[in-house]
Amino acid sequence: MNRAIINFDNKTLDSIHKYSLELLNYTGIRFPNEKALGIFKSHGFRTDGEMVFFEEKDIQTALETVPSVFSIKARNPEKNIRIGDDSYMIAPGYGPPFIIEPSGEKRNALLDDVQKLCKLVQTYKYLDFNSSIVVQPSDVPQETAHLDILLATMLITDKPIMGSTSSGIAARDSLELAKMIWGNTDEPVMISLVDSLSPLQYASEMIDSLMIYAEAGQPVIIHSSCSLGTTGPITIAGSLVISNATTLAGICLSQLINPGTPIVYGLGGSPTEMKTGGYVNASPEDAKHVAIVTAMGRYYNLPCRSQGALTESFSLDYQAGMESAMMLTVAALSGVHLSLHACGTYGSMLAMSYEKFIADEDLIGAVKKLMKPVEFTDDAFAMDLIKKMGTSGNYLMEMHTVNRCRTEFFIPDLNIRTIHNKWLDLDPRDNTLRAAGILGKRLAEYEKPESDPDIEKRLVQYVKKRKGD
């Protein structure tokens, strides 16, 4: 099934690829990492200081070994996920350091927020896996925060997880903890995000993480983006060349280390707000990058990722709904395989909101229902029933309706569907207050998923030892 709503002809995609190859060969990509530079040199790549140069054959060879489909194990086997084909897997916000309260006030995120949000991830009907940094807690040391976050996501949820890429040490910790749960990690048991720096470079810690996960054969999302007009050209076409070239270079390194390492292709781009110099999420330009990443993913026969329900707003207002719906709908209908930031984020992905986390569940559910193919079975056509009913026009009490009434339509939890008089009597009517009510109920009803007590003890002991507790 082709979900593309914005199509790009092969000539355009060929041009993006051709100009990317030109950049890779002429300008190169900066890899400030001695081990990575050594790997490139040992395979005959041309280098100049920290710059690495790529020929077309290098990129083509790398692309040929990346699988187009792969699976990731969850702690609960019933929640394993598959990336590729027609799948669309989603995770919540990634990396916000702040929490926006219903009052609009901003505060630093805490470890308690990580744990609460993990509980929401576990009980969320439509989230397929958890983020590596659902929020960045400020009340634990930053050099070991990844350990607290990993422990929370491994014990509070039993959905698939993301490994940490905050440093090479964090990546190794992620793998060590995973081994305690799954033992043999030859198969994918987590996916991790490696972001490049624009223009045309990678940070050393991201390179370390990429190499460690590739050595272990664990899937990696390799994503590049720029701010249009500041860290890249102001045009979408120019930004695509920079981001595509950088992503291809990262893919190449992963396959030099371990051919067949599962990769998810990512690129993006957000316009610069020329009045402030900041970047703007959830713009039409941002949405166009989402559509283009799927076209390039198909071009390279790779699974691809996008952003999710992003907004520049700081409240559950029309702007938040409009921008979030545009971004998530374009991603789903374009054919994206995986979205991060699918729920909960405000203001350029810098803050998380519990209430928006809840509200976005209706949006995600509606989008997933929108993607579901219309049923055209004999039972769905209901010809015998239509002939029987004739012109009566009242199907309400027929068994065909009764049997399907709870599953045929999407039913929101937060959004209001009622007549005006009843709407006037609703208390509360405000979406933020209504979401807060659902939030409290969800947290109160949370049940910790089963886990092996011995494994849980080993996980806790590992984290305590690493933290020096």
CATH architecture of 64-371: Alpha-Beta Barrel (3.20)
- pLDDT band for position 186 (50/70/90)? confident
- pLDDT > 90 in the chain, percent: 90
pLDDT at 299: 96
DSSP secondary structure letter of residue 304: B
Q: What tokens appear for 33 in the block? A: 């990492």
Q: Which residues of 171-200 are buried (b: 16+ CB within 10 A; e: fewer)?
A: bbbbbebbebbbeebeebbbbbbbbbebbb
pLDDT at 301: 97
Taken in order 318, 323, 324, 330, is the CA torsion positive or negative?
positive
Q: Is the pLDDT of residue 2 over 60?
A: no
**DSSP-derived 3-state class of residue 289:** helix
- pLDDT band for position 185 (50/70/90)? confident
pLDDT at 8: 77
| 330 to 128, 223, 247, 339: CA distances (angstroms) | 19, 18, 22, 11
How far is the first Cα of the chain from the last one, in angstroms, to the nearest whole number?
52
- pLDDT band for position 377 (50/70/90)? very high
Q: What tokens appear for 283 in the block? A: 């713009």
Q: Is the pLDDT of residue 22 over 60?
A: yes
pLDDT at 1: 45
pLDDT at 281: 87
212-226, 385-399, 433-447: which has the minimum mean pLDDT?
A: 385-399
Asked if residue 61 lies in contact with residue 44, where contact means CB atoms within 8 angstroms, the answer is no
Beta-carbon contacts of residue 321 (< 8 Å; ≥ 6 apart): 363
Q: pLDDT digit string (tens) for 61-81?
A: 999 999 999 999 999 999 999
Q: pLDDT digit string (tens) for 137-176?
A: 999 999 999 999 999 999 999 999 999 999 999 999 999 9
CA atoms of 24 and 16, how far apart (whole Å)? 12
Asked if residue 157 lies in contact with residue 448, where contact means CB atoms within 8 angstroms, the answer is no
pLDDT at 260: 97
Single-letter amino acid code for the residue at 136: Q
Q: pLDDT digit string (tens) for 127-139?
A: 999 999 999 999 9
DSSP secondary structure letter of residue 450: P
Q: pLDDT digit string (tens) for 387-425?
A: 999 998 789 999 999 999 999 999 999 999 999 999 999
- pLDDT band for position 7 (50/70/90)? low
- pLDDT band for position 6 (50/70/90)? low
- pLDDT > 70 in the chain, percent: 99
Single-letter amino acid code for the residue at 106: K
Q: What tokens appear for 379 in the block? A: 């039972």
Q: Is the pLDDT of residue 3 over 60?
A: no
pLDDT at 158: 97
- pLDDT band for position 267 (50/70/90)? very high
What are the residue boundaries of the structural domains of the chain, listed by start?
Answer: 64-371
**DSSP-derived 3-state class of residue 305:** strand
pLDDT at 279: 80
Average pLDDT, the chain: 94
- pLDDT band for position 456 (50/70/90)? very high
Q: Is the pLDDT of residue 332 over 50?
A: yes
Cα angle, residue 31 at apex, residues 26 and 32 outer, rounded to 5°: 130
pLDDT at 114: 97
Taken in order 438, 441, 445, 446, is the CA torsion positive or negative?
positive
**DSSP-derived 3-state class of residue 208:** helix
CA atoms of 242 and 247, how far apart (whole Å)? 9
Strands 338-339 and 89-90, by their bridges, are parallel
pLDDT at 87: 93
Q: pLDDT digit string (tens) for 274-326?
A: 888 778 889 999 999 999 999 999 999 999 999 999 999 999 999 999 999 99
**DSSP-derived 3-state class of residue 227:** strand
Q: What tokens appear for 338 in the block? A: 């995986």
